Each structure stands twice: as structure tokens, then as C-alpha cells.
Structure 1
Amino acid sequence: MNVVVRHQAEALAAAGHQVEILTRRSSTELSDVQLTPGVTLRFLDAGPARPVPKGDHEGFIDAFRVRMAALGPYDVIHSHHWFSGMAALPLARLRGVPHVQSFHSIAADESTPLSAGERAESPGRMAGEAWLAQTSDAIVAISEAEADTVVRRLGGSPDRVAIVLPGVDGTLFRPTGVASAAGVASPAEVTSPAGATSPAGRGYAVVAARLQPLKGLDLAIEAIAAVSAELRPELVIAGDASSDYDGYIDELQALAARHGIASGVRFVGPQSRADLAGLLRGARVVLVPSHSETYGLVALEAAASGVPVVAAAAGGLREAVVNGDTGVVLDSRDPEVWAEALTGILSNPAFARRLSLAARERAEHLDWPRSAEGLLAVYRSLVGPGDEGWRHTLLSA
């Protein structure tokens, strides 16, 4: 979500708009900053100035709204995630300003399978999401799958739901040998990150995600373990541990040990955008085994890097990865089925090459200026063309 918010904001600013990104202050060391000309990031005091589980954010909504009320004026208020929407929609109504809502993830009732979405993280989330979907002036979904969920589960009106696909920076996320923005071709990257040598030259596979059960990291470990030893790559897991799931990394490490591949699974922590691009560029395959994804931005970033993706057939991943063309999409969560798909890529360089070329070609048509233009079309439908140069506020929970 943060990647989408920032890149869309920067693309809006490049098109002549003024954008403020508002988010909750999670550290006393954070202060307002201009990210790029036309984009200001502001931290609002709502709740303690430290990270807290997302399930606790509901208690900070009123305080966030009070702090936000001192800012502006804005021509459009666009909330990202339900917490932001609950704070912003009443204020937008008071000011007579259009309110646009994006969810990025939508809660699932506890009686539904995990693959249907995230669990409700706080008491008011499910009701709040439905209210936002039914009351906001427009809903921006990131995929057909998310749009369908907004209409079917939350009761949003189809004529107020617009789909705006994310973009990807094709100069940062690029295949090995493709010129960077500075015009310098990247060197071949055939070893694991942080200078470690891949086992027997078999390279490495990547999972990049927040470390929580929803992302299906257990399936990634079990799938890699099921690949034959002569083909099996190292599994590199990149991402920050979620504060909601203390001890989850220990569980994953124990799982790898039970399957006899403890030395072949490495956790490299959260990565900067540049480091993630380099990590993906050197991978032989990227796994996206999530139970639920509204789109799957990592899959698009892997595509731009010219790396085949093996993804779960969950939500927007069916749209982010073209099965058999840019990667492989699997309905099954059987590790043996995943291992078979991985083996098909790892053992067949020609097939892997075909997937890589098609993935990069598709990604080249999806950039952030195009994504921002999709947003502007939604905003114009609410504000009118006018002279534009609007002041937006994008709220990120």
C-alpha cells in the first residue's frame, strides 16, 4: 500500500498537482518532509508515537480526524485503508469535499476461508468497510477481484467503483543487463544477496512480503523443500516481521528445519526499494503464495525484473500474473504441485526465458504516470475539469 500511495502521489505531482500524504506518527523521531516537489509527507499525532498492531488503530480514529481537521484545504481527499477512511469521510462531508476510498485489503468474516481475505482486525472494521464502500463518492480498486469484493461483500455500487491498476518503475526494476536510469547496464547477479554463495550454483528463489500467515510463507518453504535436491535453489525471504505475529519467524525456521532445508532458507529482513530490485533481478523465480492479495505488486515488480513468477490463484494475482505467459498461477496449495511448477521453470531454461521476456514486455506497459492518469479520471468525475492543479490529500493508515 505504501508503495502505491507514494508512487501515485509523485506521479500526480509530476502532472502539476499538490499532494499531502497524511499518516499516523509511529515514532517521536518522525517529522514532516517534502518527498519530492509537490509531495509532502505529514505525520499526525494519534495514539502513542510507536508502532502498534493494526488491530489497535481503531482507537485512534477520532484523534486522527481532529489532527487532520487543522490541515487543508483540499480539493480531493483519498483514503487508503479503512482506518483512514473512517477518520476522513466525516470531515470530507463537513467540508463538502469529494471522498475517494481505496482498501488494499478487505476483512473477511471469521466463518469464511482465509483465502477470501484478511480477518477482521478490530471490532468495527467489517461494518466500517461496508459503510465506506456504500457512502464514499468513489471507490478505487486495484484489480477486478477487489472491485468484485467491494460490490459483492461490502455492498458498494458498481457505478461508483473504478479500477486503477498499480504501476512499476521499469528503470529500477529491470532485468540483468538492461540499462538503469543512469544509463549503466547492471552487472550479472548470480549469487545470493549479502554475498552468500548459492548452493551448488543453483541460484535462489525469492519471497518478498510482510511476514505473517496471510502471505503463505509456510507454503513457500514446503514447496522449495519438495524440489529435488539437484535443482533446489536457496529460498530468500525478504520482509519485515509483523508486530501482530510475534514468533512467526521462529515458526518458519522450525518448519524449514523439519524439512531438512534450514541451511537453504535465509531471512534478509526488510529491503529498500533499490535492494529489493537487485534481489529480484538476481532471482531465478519469485514465489507469491499468499492466501489473499488485492493485486500482488511484488509479482509486477518481478515481471519488470524479467523473473518468472509462481503465484497462488488468490484475488488479484490472477490478473497480475498471466498463467503460462508471464508465470504460473496455481489453484492448489499442495506443496508438491508447487514443487512441480518450480521444477518446470528451474529445469527448462527455454521455458524460463520465454516467461521472463513476456513478463518484462507486459510490465513495460504498466507505469506510474499511467496509474496516476487513472486516478485523475476518477477525480475529474467528482471535481470537474476546472483548471486542475488540485490539492489532494492521500491518507495512509
Structure 2
Amino acid sequence: MGGVPSSLRVGIVCLHTDPYAPPGSGDVGGMNVVVRHTCDALARAGHRVEVITRWSDPATAGREEIDGVVVHRLAVGPPRTVLKGENEAFMDDFGRELALLGPMDLLHSHHWFSGIAALPVARSWGVPHLQSFHSIAAPESTDLSAGERPESPGRLQGEAFLAQQSDGVLAVSRAEAMTALERLGAPPERLTVVYPGVDSALFHPAPETPGKRSSVLVAARLEPLKGVDLAIRALALLPVERRPLLRIAGGATADASFGPELLELAAGLGLRDDVELLGPQSRTGLADLMRSSTMVMVPSHSETYGLVALEAAASGVPVIASATGGLVEAVRDGTTGLLVQGRRPQDWAAAVDRLLAEPELRERLGRQGREHAVARTWDSVGAVVARAYRGVVVGAGVSAVGRA
């Protein structure tokens, strides 16, 4: 292709969820945050960034420019939010509509729905295709105690095809990269780890309020994978006189009954006045909640990274998290927070009790967490992603050790 232009025209494909949808709505989660901030950083660096998603909200425009990023919303499927799995039926039609927008210098797909739709388009244009999964299907034989949901064989086969056929795979943690390598057969030379960044101006510390009741924040979608029930069970083991308030920020996804079930669990354990279900939050609302909390808990069965842990660190708040998946990389045990092995409520209660009893430890973890997080800027993430893009455009491959 000759020399690589300083400014690339990049297509960011997100079939099932709109990265520019209002935070706290629908299936908007960590992936949306990562995609949007990375796109904004690439646009600030002078690249022409175009996000292609499905038109699922009649109140939004079919095409608009936001912060220098062009957002295309393709009229594929019904103009409403659907259950995540239903997007599989739209892949072929979405790919046909996507093909009308090009060619571009490359396509970068997020989640397997997007990749299956976009890879054939990239091949028809003669341009590279990169894949980010954000979650990878578990085989049917997976022990569900590990927190992974088994998927249809079609998804695992589709993800393996994308991992092996794409020109590069961008993972948000070494844990995710190893899963792509071992489970999907991704060529190691095409794997790049790009850790997420954080907006350390939005997520910033605030002084503790003397005399205020201690609180633990769990920020997660309300689904079994996130392990919110473990946080409730741990809280029930703490003595009433020093029991903190548990605040749960997040909305239900497919199963709207899960939130009421959590409240029933709390009531059954005598915690009716100790657990608050706050619902989905805007980014500003989440930041306010974090800095006003004594600690943040991430009790997920598994996470590819765990962006909430980094946002808590930026807020100067210590984190208690599962010692699993990408959380081992998001939280530096004993430095920015505490990692808990296993899922015994007693062990989680002990970690909470320790932070409550040791204000000096809370202060140290919060301070060191902030120092760690402020170095993780979205512009640095954008720079690493841009290097990966240039690498595939010139056919030089993607470094297996690149990371922000």
C-alpha cells in the first residue's frame, strides 16, 4: 500500500451496542466506555474515526458527528433495543449495509457479532481487520462455578474463526489474550494487550466525611456473573455496630427479576436497611458515588479486565476484588487494593472488616491507586491502538507485548 498515511480512516464496528448511547442505558457497560474513549483519543490524534452500530433508538440520528467521531447507525433489525443474543440474526444484513460505507483503511470490530459481519467486508475491500472480543464464550463443559455462561457452539466457533483469520486481536488484559490464544487459537504474533484508560479528571478523590456511615459500592450490571449476591452475603457476616451500607449501582440486562431477587436475599439475611439498589448511573453519577464510598467491591466470577477497579483507583478509593481473570491485572494486591481468593463470604467479609478497621491502610491504598490510575490516560491508549493499526496496514503484524 506504499507509505502509511499519518491520518487513517478507521471503521469501528459495534453491532449490538451503541458506544455513544447515554451511559447507564440498555447494555451500556465497560466495552462502551473503552470504545468511546479510544475513538475520541484517535480523533484527537487526527485520525478519521467512524463508528458503525445498529440503529436501535428512534430518538437518535442515523448519522451524526460527536466529538470529532462520525457515528453511523444502520437501519438493520427493529428500531429498538433487543436482548443481546438476538443480534446474531442481524449479522448478515448489517454486513451488507456496512459495505456501502467504504472502503476504509481498516475495520476494527468489537464483540463477535461485529466481527462476523465486518471481516468479509474488510476482505472485499482488501483492507485489514482487527478484532476485540471483550468477552469470550465458555465451552459447554465449563464449570459454571467459574462464573462463565456456556454459549452455543456457533459463538465459540465464530470467535475462533475471527481470532485465527483477523489481522490482529486487541485484548484488554493478558488474561483475555491468553484465553484468545489457548481457547480460540489466535496466533500469538497477532495479539496485542491494550489496557484500558481512565478519565482521572472525572474520577477523582474527595476527602472522607467525618461521622458519615461507611459504605461499600458495587457497580455492575445486575446478572449472576457479577457476583453481587456474594457482596450481600459478606455484608451479613459483619457485626451490626460496624456494618457498612452496601450500595449497588447498575441495571438489569436480560433478567429483570434479578434485582428484586437481590433485595429478597438482603431482607432474608436481615439487611433490609443495609442494602440500596440505585439503578443505572450516568458517568458523572458513578464518579460521585465512587469518591463518596469507603471502598469499592468487584466480586465478579470473571472479568476480562474490570474497568470499575481502575475508576475506583482514580477516585482514590481502595478496591476489594476477585483474584481472577483480568482483575489480577487491574488491581495491584496490597498496593491499590486487596484481591480475594475464592468465593467464601467469610473471606470477603474479613477483607471489608480489615479496611474498615485500618484507616491508614485505606488512605495508602487510595493514594497509591490514584498514582497508578493517572498514568493510564485515554490518549496513551489511543497511541498504542494507532500503532497497532499502522502495523497491520503496512503488513508488519502486531507486537505481542504492546500495551498502554
TM-score normalised per structure 1: 0.89
Deviation at 1:73, TM superposition (A): 2.6
Cα 1:48–1:189, aligned 2, differ >3 Å: closer, same or farther? Answer: farther
In structure 1, what is the equivalent of residue 187 of structure 2?
Answer: 157
Which residue among 68, 75, 96 is the counterpart of 2:126? Answer: 96
1:56·1:122 contact (CA, 8 Å) conserved in 2?
no
Q: Deviations over 1:220-252 (max 9, x none)?
A: 11112222212211111111210x213111111
The verdict on how the C-alpha distance between 1:254 and 1:270 changes in structure 2, with shifts beyond 3 A counting, is: same
Match of 1:74 in 2: 104
In the alignment, the residues of structure 1 paired with residue 143 and residue 83 of structure 2 have an alpha-carbon distance, to the nearest angstrom, of 22
| CA positional deviation for 1:27 | 2.0
Structure 1 unaligned spans of 5+: 177-187, 192-199, 386-397
Aligned equivalent of 1:181: none
Asked if 2 retains the 8 angstrom alpha-carbon contact of 1:8 and 1:368, the reply is: yes
Correspondence list, 1:314-353, <5 A? 314-353=324-363
CA distance in 1, matches of 2:76, 2:157: 22
Aligned CA distance change for structure 1 residues 44 and 19 (closer, same or farther; 3 Å): same
Q: 1:227 aligns with which of 238, 242, 259?
A: 238
Which residue of 1 is the match for residue 224 of structure 2? 213
Q: Give, in whole Å, the separation in 2 of the partners of 1:59 and 1:349.
A: 52
CA distance in 2: counterparts of 1:358 and 1:267, whole angstroms: 30
Deviation sequence 1:47-92 (CA, Å, 0-9, x none): 2122211121111101111111111331111000110001000110
Corresponding residue of 2:6: none
**Larger displacement relative to structure 2 (357-366 or 42-51):** 42-51
Residue in 2 that maps onto 1:309: 319
Q: Of 149, 153, 167, which residue of structure 2 is paired with 1:119?
A: 149
Task: Quote the residue 1:381 is aligned against.
Answer: 391
Residue 119 of structure 1 and its aligned partner are, at CA, apart by 2.2
Question: Which residue of structure 2 aligns with residue 292 of structure 1?
Answer: 302
Give yes or no for contact 1:190–1:203 (8 Å, CA) kept in 2.
no
Contact 1:114 1:292 (8 Å CA) reproduced: no
Secondary structure at the aligned position of 1:291 is classed as coil
> Cα deviation per residue 1:122-167 (whole Å; 9 max; x = unaligned)?
5521110010001000000000100000000001111100001110
1:34 pairs, out of 62, 65, 74, with 65
Q: Which amino acid aligns with 1:85?
A: G
Pick aligned residue for 1:203 from 210, 214, 229: 214
CA RMSD of aligned residues (A): 1.6
Decide whether aligned partners of structure 1 residues 123 and 111 sit closer, same or farther in structure 2, where only a CA change above 3 A counts. Answer: closer
1:355 aligns with 2:381: no
Match of 2:87 among 45, 54, 57: 57
Question: Amino acid of the residue matched to residue 332 of structure 1?
Answer: G
The separation in 1 between residues aligned to 2:173 and 2:43, in whole angstroms, is 24
Q: Which amino acid aligns with 1:372?
A: G
TM-score by length of 2: 0.87
Q: Tell me the distance in 1 between the aligned counterparts of 2:294 and 2:124.
A: 53
Counterpart secondary structure, 2:346: helix
Equivalent residue, structure 2, for 1:139: 169
**In the alignment, which residue of structure 1 is the partner of 2:200?**
170
Whole-angstrom distance in 1 between the partners of 2:323 and 2:64: 39
Give the Cα separation in 2 of the matches to 1:113 and 1:21. Answer: 36
Q: Hey, what's the Cα distance between the residues in 2 that align with 1:169 and 1:236?
A: 22
Find the counterpart in structure 1 of residue 401 from structure 2: none
- State the distance in 1 between where 2:278 and 2:301 align: 22
Secondary structure of the 2:240 match is coil
Asked if structure 2 preserves the Cα contact closer than 8 Å seen for 1:106 and 1:118, the reply is: no
Structure 1 residues 26, 100: closer, same or farther in 2, change over 3 A?
same
State the distance in 2 between where 1:156 and 1:276 align: 35
Once the two structures are aligned, what percentage of the paired residues are identical? 53
In the alignment, what sits opposite 1:364?
374
The 3 A distance-change label for structure 1 pair 116 and 25 is: farther
Seen in structure 2, the aligned counterparts of structure 1 residues 293 and 175 have a Cα distance that, compared at 3 Å, is: same
Give the Å deviation of 1:314.
1.7
Cα 1:30/1:68, change in 2 over 3 Å: same
Match of 2:52? 22
Corresponding residue for residue 388 of structure 1 = none
How far apart, in 1, do the equivalents of 2:47 and 2:104 lie? Answer: 11
Change (3 A) 1:117 1:261: closer
Cα deviation, residue 189, structure 1? 6.6
Which residue number in structure 2 is paired with residue 239 of structure 1?
250
Q: Check 1:343–1:117 CA distance in 2 against 1; reply closer, same or farther (3 A cut).
A: closer
> Helix, strand or coil: the match of 1:230?
helix
User: Which residue identity does 2:57 align to in structure 1?
Assistant: S
Q: Aligned equivalents of 2:150 and 2:90: distance in 1?
A: 17
Q: What's the offset of the Cα at 1:201?
A: 3.1
Q: Does 1:283 align with 2:282?
A: no
| Structure 1: distance between partners of 2:194 and 2:324 | 19
**Amino acid paired to 2:108:** H
For structure 1, which segment, 223-232 or 79-88, has the greater mean C-alpha deviation from structure 2 after superposition? Answer: 223-232
Amino acid of the structure 2 residue aligned with 1:220: A
Tell me the distance in 2 between the aligned counterparts of 1:117 and 1:259: 23
